[in-house]
Structure 1
Amino acid sequence: MLELSGKFEEAFDVYKSVFDTDYITPIARMGEIFPRGSEVDLSDFERNGLVNMELSVVGSHLLMAGDMIDSLGQKVSIGNSTTTNLELDDVDGARDFHEALSQGAIFCAQPSQTPWTSLWGAGLDRFGIRWMFNVILQN
């Protein structure tokens, strides 16, 4: 079984490389929000968890994430938590992103033309995040 807890920083380091970009703001950790002795008693592992991180990707798309914290009653299920859809302008770029994010993927629908797009592809990456890529048909 794929473990999601504490994986967003690792995932975003991969996404940073794939999209050739950088973090927009400093990474914020749970320990900054809930320091030792606060009303919420977090483990050291949870205290190091992410409250927020932001990464600029294609165009004006912005990815934001934070870890789920067991002590706060948060749970996530792999594959149904979210789908990140990228609307792209060119087929080659979409294929490149799909290939990069498919490394070690759990599931991949290979990019292909559909009745509604010039190219569509999807996959569940090695971090349990589902991606879709669309290049819209030009009339």
Structure 2
Amino acid sequence: MAFKLNPYLNFDGNAEEAFSFYKSVFGGEFAGGIMKMSSAPGTENLPDEEKERVMHVSLPLDNNQTLMASDIVPSMGHKLTQGNNVYLSLHPDSKEEADKLFNALAEGGKVEMPMEDQFWGDYFGSLVDKFGIGWMVNYNPNF
């Protein structure tokens, strides 16, 4: 079985800000722009603040991967629960790229494990960014 896995993140009103930040870290352009809730049929009765929330955004990354997201809509009963059940694991091609990604994502966030050579042979670190998203950066010179 062959498939690709695209991480999909949910935010509570700050998806556009988060993805502008991720775009500054990873580069690239949003595929199809940023779709707002107001562009969907049947959303005319949403509160004005919710009409400006992100319905969908996707940021193509290297290696045919895409990071995607949307905002929740509280008036439709959505509730965001942040936790440590999801981390996005990045596997760059060099230590230098690992450091660059880690340091950019850590800006305004909380480092859990700084980038260091680990006992299992990889160069690894983990953090939670300023938007509450967990990231692992793992460089293995043998892969």
Q: Which runs of 5+ in 2 are unaligned?
A: 1-10
Cα distance between partner residues in 2 of 1:83 and 1:35: 32
Question: Structure 1 residue runs of 4+, over 6 Å off?
Answer: none
CA contact (8 A) 1:102 1:108 kept: no
Q: CA deviation at 1:81?
A: 5.8
Identity %, equivalent residues: 30
* Cα shift readout 1:3-54 (whole Å, capped 9, x = no counterpart): x521110011111111122111221111112331xxxx42111111111100
Residue 71 of structure 1 pairs with residue 75 of structure 2: yes
Counterpart selection for 1:20 from 23, 27, 41: 27
TM-score (norm 2): 0.82
- 1:109 match: 113
**SS of alignment partner, residue 91 of structure 2:** strand
Q: Does 1:85 pair with 2:93?
A: no
Compared with structure 1, are the counterparts of its residues 58 and 109 closer, same or farther at alpha carbon in structure 2 (3 Å cutoff)?
farther
In 2, Cα distance between equivalents of 1:42 and 1:81: 30
| Alignment of 1:30 onto 2:37 | yes
Q: Distance in 1 between matches of 2:87 and 2:48?
A: 30
For the residues of structure 1 that align with 2:119 and 2:77, how far apart are their CA atoms? 42
Q: Which residue of 2 aligns with 1:97?
A: 101
Structure 1 regions of 5+ residues with no counterpart? none
How much is the aligned-residue C-alpha RMSD, in angstroms?
1.9
- Partner Cα separation in structure 2 for residue 91 and residue 62 of structure 1: 22
Question: Is the CA contact 1:79–1:124 (under 8 Å) kept in the aligned structure 2?
Answer: no
2:122 match: secondary structure: strand
Kept in 1: contact 2:92–2:139 (CA 8 A): yes
Select between 57-66 and 9-18 the one with higher mean Cα deviation. Answer: 57-66
Task: Quote the residue 1:9 is aligned against.
Answer: 16
Bigger CA drift: 115-124 or 6-15? 115-124
Aligned length: 132
Q: Distance in 2 between matches of 1:134 and 1:14?
A: 21
- Deviation, structure 1 residue 71: 1.5
Q: Is the 8 A contact 2:94 2:141 kept in 1?
A: no
CA distance 1:107–1:42, change in 2 (3 Å): farther
TM-superposed CA distance for 1:128, in Å, is: 0.9
Assess if the C-alpha contact under 8 Å between 1:116 and 1:137 holds in 2.
no
